[in-house]
Amino acid sequence: MANFTKAAIMESFLRLLNEKKFDKITIKDIVSDCGVSRKTFYYYFEDIYDILEKYMADLTEESIKSIDNVQTFETELIKLIGFITDNKRAVYHIYNSVSRDKLEDYLYESSMPVIKAIILKKLDNSTYSSDDIDIISKVCANAFTGSILRLIKDGMPDNIEYMIKLISTIFDDAVNAIQNRSIN
């Protein structure tokens, strides 16, 4: 029940974020929307920035829950951007706030383990060391994060899923290309 209250505060926050700019949301707005007292709010969160941080941390945790059952780049990356496509306005408001780094961190930290798991699966029998795989995964996660941030900056076009398919194709081809090739 206690976590239910915390989740309700977070839901209110997301609902408000879909309506107004992040910097314009106050604790009063959340408390009034959610119906919990100010004391209860402060029991769970320090301030508005803290909710965003915890919300993003929860999303990251949720996205890497099924890390053992990763499928293709396309399916996993589409799952990752689910939050973005479902909450376009909210994401746009976070992007245009002082807390943009939280969005960037979410994209990178949620995609990195997933991408790494797929690459590990694909390069299972290769000669690449775990450090090499780490570097390759980071390059892909950075490419994914940067591309999504650019899409958000450009106002998030409707064909975002098509772009994810293209990014996934690039990742697939890149991993296939290095699969049978040694850097040394």
Pair of tokens at residue 47: 């301030």
Class of residue 155 by CB neighbours under 10 A (exposed 0-12, middle 13-18, buried 19+): exposed
Q: Under DSSP, is residue 149 helix (H, G, I), strand (E, B) or coil?
A: helix
Q: How far apart are CA 52 and CA 13, in angstroms?
A: 8
Determine contact, residues 155/84, Cβ cutoff 8 Å: no
CB of 62 to another protein, least distance (A): 18
Closer CB to another protein, 4 or 124, in the complex: 4
H helix or E strand, kind and range, residue 48: helix 48-63
Least distance between another protein and beta carbon 17 (Å): 15
Tokens representing 69? 């059952």
Minimum distance from residue 3 beta carbon to another protein (Å): 6
Residues that bind another protein (CB under 8 A): 1-5, 8, 26-29, 31-32, 34-40, 43, 47
Nearer to another protein, 52 or 112 (CB): 52
- Closest approach of another protein to the CB of residue 165, in Å: 38
Residue closer to another protein by CB (options 32, 159) is 32
> Which CB atom, from 34 or from 141, has the smaller least distance to another protein?
34
